[in-house]
Chains A and B, each alone.
Chain A
Amino acid sequence: MYVIGIDVGGTNTDAALLFGDQVRAVAKVPTNHQDLFQSTTQALREILAHYHRSDPIRLHLSTTLSTNVIVEGRGTPTVAVVVPGPGVNLGSLAFPFPIYELDGYIDHRGREVSPLRMEQVASLKDVLQEMQGYALAVVGKFSGRNPSQEQALSEELAKWHRGVISLGSRLSGRANFPRRIVTTCLNASVAKHHLDFVDMLQTAITDPISELLLLKADGGTMTLHDSVQRPIETILSGPAASIMGAQALTQCKAKNYLIVDIGGTTTDLAAVVEGEVLFERDGATIAGYKTLVPAVLTRSIGLGGDSELAYQKGTGIVIGPKRAGNPLCLGGDRLTTTDAAVALGLAKLGSEEAARQGFLRWGQALGLQWDVLAQQVIEAFTTRLVQAVESFYHELETMPLYTVREVLHPPELKPGAVVGLGAPAPVFVPALGEALGLPWEVVPFSSGANAIGAASARATVGITLQADTELGIVTIPEMGYQGEIHRPLFFDLAKARQLAEEKTREYARSLGYDGSSEIYVVEEESFQMVRGFRTVGQTHMVRAQLRPEARRIKGES
């Protein structure tokens, strides 16, 4: 099948047309920040110009809409209605949303310790009546273990609230109440903007486009239908698309490798371990907000092809973190790292003469040979990159370990190779590989890899199943599901896993995904519960999802 991938970036919108594992075409247009839809459809038109058939095409879109709404603070004003029970004082956490705390309490096993008081909801109505056009986020502590109070509360609120209501338990089965509050509020605040965007996108679904999927921060895709409920998952899909692109395009045979995406302003690092890219432990951080949105783990440094250059006595060359604008070689008015590569003949881009003149002038001012200076820029860039890579892996290696087995045999994270992408990659990745003592590779289509990554992405949809055989209850917060365990004595981890797989399939189908693909268990744990020297039950946790098949894309077009 033909698939088009479009990635809306800060500067450009990239598009790629794939057929099976072949790249048929790539295109690039400037991003129109005033009207993302306009530049997106323009990129679509340009790529469709390479398409001369009538077979249906699927479109995968990585858009910055929700990201921008959040970063620019343009979201719908949102009020959080929370059921915190005892514990950390939420007042000390400085949430950027008004928070109303209600009575009620679910404990860590999902048992209701104290009930909601619906009369509090009625008085909330009086308080909120003053506000216009706001959204609501409803979040309870341990709602992942028992979403019933959240559900009852949202039903009560829906009796008079006309706007969006987002439920924390539906968005994530992971434990972390403050992050769940933030995630739910952000979800509610972008929901309206997202819905408007989806309405527009639906007009784009005309021949030959048969289906439109959106990219998520975890590098997977989601249906428009699904995205309306969980628009927050579309944040930060751009960096994820690039990483997916690198994974799709690399010829690298190493199980562990480092992905370096060198852009104009920043360089992103990601780690592949045992063939799978690493994810954030809890979730994405966006504009300083810590969320539970599943996301590819990337670390960004202020180092890119357009970074500004300075010379400090003692230190020498200082690169970035600011962007200088276009390089001299492309008609800009300030020297950049790209100019150093062009002046030295390491890269062919625009006017080599302009770049060389720039270094001549700077060299004269500093009393240095122009080529020595340009070489120092390249070296300073590489040194910074090496340091960033080292601290990135150092950070990964501090991830906590909770079992004796893991401490004795900690997961090997160290890369066996470097895979680079982005326009400046051919200049800097070889030097980086050499400095790290690792084989390196620059993927083909280096500057359109993000769109290829978007096109090669697969649906990721998953659930968190929590079973407590003493209480005889299975909970799947994402589905709002709670069911009884009929034969608790026989409900072991294997049974929990089997049920998780069935439920993942059921959930995927309900959201419009192909439920026939393989389900895999991302994470599981199981404990015997002993009370007074007697085993009273077991607790199982299984996180399962559709397997996002790694798809390799051929390098040549």
Chain B
Amino acid sequence: MTEQNVPRVGLVFFPAFDWAIGPDHPERQERLLYTRDQIQEEGLFDHPAIREYRPRLARDEEILRTHIVLPSLEEKITESHRIAAGGTIAAADLVLDGLVKRAFALLRPPGHHGNRVVHGSRGFCVLNNEAIMVDHLRARLGANLRVAIVDTDAHHADGTQDVFYNDPGILHISLHQDGRTLYPGTGFTSERGGPGAYGQTVNIPLPPGTGDQGMLLVMERVVLPILKEWEPDFVINAAGQDNHFSDPITNMRFSAQGYAQLTELLAPDLVVLEGGYSIESALPYINVGLLLALAGLDYSRVKEPQGLRAQDRQSAAVTDQVKRVCDEVGELWQQRSEADLEQIFGSADFFQRQRQIYYDTDNIYESQQEYIRLCGDCSGWRMMYTRSSRAREPVAIVLTPWICCTRCQTEARRQYQEVSEDSTFAQAIWQDPASNSYRSRGAVHR
């Protein structure tokens, strides 16, 4: 196959027409029906620049490189989650194998609220599809890979942030509606990453009422300059579509044109669908625009049937607020290397944090304690203790980073030895993604 013959966009479309969280739930069979209809009628499934591919099931080891699923994979993961994660991996492989230039995993269920530790479903998400994809990229190309994730869902990508917050190989930028006004209530500029990757978590909280104008301002003033400076090997767009003016559960005012422009500016290698629940008035048009923009085709005629009303356009006050956010985020980025890490994370051997996490979709509470080894040679091994309102017995987790110094390796192994012999823990889990090793003592495997 010659270079010219490579389709520009590989599309892994998986609408999961037979799966729903509940019959009336936004994550239901119907969600991508109208998107399918629109793409089909526009002839994009067989446009020469676009080729459609099948998803596949993600294998255990592909999931367990990224997640710790409790009490077990079998109990928490449905086949649809495996297909969404596997479809995302399949999209990455299309690009890695040179079959296409870019790929779009247009599939459900979504994933960006999925944390590293999974006790259940949060914000309609269980497995974090793009996080699993990133670790797949590293498994194929090496631990040194630099990957930037730009999450443009209206909700803060707290799950992706959680998975990578101490990961020096990842730059995570999340644009979202201000957490004070929307689920999950996080994603403030002050959340900047752990001791091993400080400054590489970039949150851009936008005021309700932000439209295309504000979003494009953020792209030009903040996102693109940061990407240019950081020089990632891959740019991934976690493409939530709920910033749309017609979305029923958010308060933003993006249009299909805005999304297409965003895509053109960002020029991502890989795109993964996240949320977006205006299934008739927004998704069909956003996805057509996004596909056209990804393929470098003319998207100027893509328009929603009910255009944005004049009174719903971004107000001057919102524009000012967006500018202030841009300035703040830009400054924080510039100053990231000057930050005094000792002052932020302490000077002890370990940085410690304690969290309560609520799984809204499944109504589960998790309490988590985490220790990160403050190490000058790598981002540090980690120790986590977690328990949930469903599984009250604590679980101990020992994690090593993708690039791990020998001392951290030794210490982590010793720690795992210790916790695996300790009967207070229902399970003791060892996760070392670089050598693709995942072990568990006491797991209930059925």
Contacts and interface: CB of A to CB of B under 8 A. Distances in A.
A109 B279 CA distance: 12
B30 interface: yes
A178 interface: yes
Interface stretch (B40-48, B60-68, B371-379, B428-436): B40-48
Contact of B56 (A141, A175, A290, A407): A407
A534 B37 contact: no
Contact of A403 (B18, B43, B56): B18
Given A86-B303, A176-B46, A404 B41 contact: no
A105 interface: yes
Given A176-B43, A527-B29, A535 B79 contact: no
B301 A89 contact: yes
Which range holds the interface residue count of chain A?
35 or more
A377 B134 CA distance: 49
Most buried by B among A89, A141, A176, A407: A407
Nearest to B32: A402
A289 to B, nearest CB: 12
Contacts of A282: 45-46
B384 to A, nearest CB: 32
Interface in A271-321: 282, 290
Given A87-B42, A113-B305, A527-B30, A407 B13 contact: no
A260 B280 CA distance: 45
Contacts of B285: 86
A108 B18 contact: no
Contact of B292 (A88, A177, A398, A407): A88
Most buried by B among A290, A400, A529: A400
Nearest to A177: B41
B296 to A, nearest CB: 10
B404 interface: no
A108 B41 contact: yes
Contacts of A91: 298
A190 to B, nearest CB: 22
Contacts of B405: none
A529 B30 contact: yes
Contacts of B34: 108-109
Contacts of B42: 87-88, 141, 177-178
B300 interface: yes
Interface in A330-353: none
Contacts of B83: 404, 407
Nearest to B297: A92
Contacts of A535: 23-24
Interface in B6-59: 13-19, 23-24, 28-30, 33-34, 36-38, 40-46, 52-57
A401 interface: yes
Contacts of B52: 400
Most buried by A among B41, B54, B57, B292: B41
A179 B37 contact: no
A141 B288 CA distance: 14
Contacts of B13: 400, 402
Contacts of A399: 54
A440 interface: no
Contacts of B41: 108, 141-142, 175-177
Contacts, number: 118
Nearest to B44: A88
Nearest to A105: B305
B91 to A, nearest CB: 13
B332 interface: no
A480 B212 CA distance: 41
B101 to A, nearest CB: 18
B33 to A, nearest CB: 6
Given A175-B41, A404-B79, A530-B28, A92 B54 contact: no
Contact of A404 (B16, B36, B301): B16
Contact of A401 (B54, B288, B303): B54
Contacts of A532: 248
Contacts of B37: 108, 175
A408 interface: yes
A499 to B, nearest CB: 21
Nearest to A529: B30
B46 A87 contact: no
B100 to A, nearest CB: 13
B17 A175 contact: no
A108 B56 CA distance: 29
Interface in B182-213: none
B40 A528 contact: no
B73 interface: no
B298 A92 contact: yes
A373 B359 CA distance: 72
Interface of A: 86-89, 91-93, 105, 107-109, 113, 141-142, 175-179, 282, 290, 397-405, 407-408, 525, 527-530, 532-535, 539
Query: What are the 10 A-B residue pairs with the smallest beta carbon separation, nearest first?
Result: A178-B43, A86-B303, A175-B41, A403-B18, A89-B298, A175-B40, A113-B305, A108-B37, A88-B42, A527-B30
Interface of B: 13-19, 23-24, 28-30, 33-34, 36-38, 40-46, 52-57, 78-80, 83, 248, 280, 284-285, 288, 292, 297-298, 300-303, 305
18 contacts: A86-B301, A88-B297, A88-B301, A92-B298, A108-B284, A177-B41, A177-B42, A282-B46, A402-B15, A403-B16, A403-B17, A404-B18, A404-B79, A407-B54, A407-B55, A527-B33, A528-B23, A530-B30
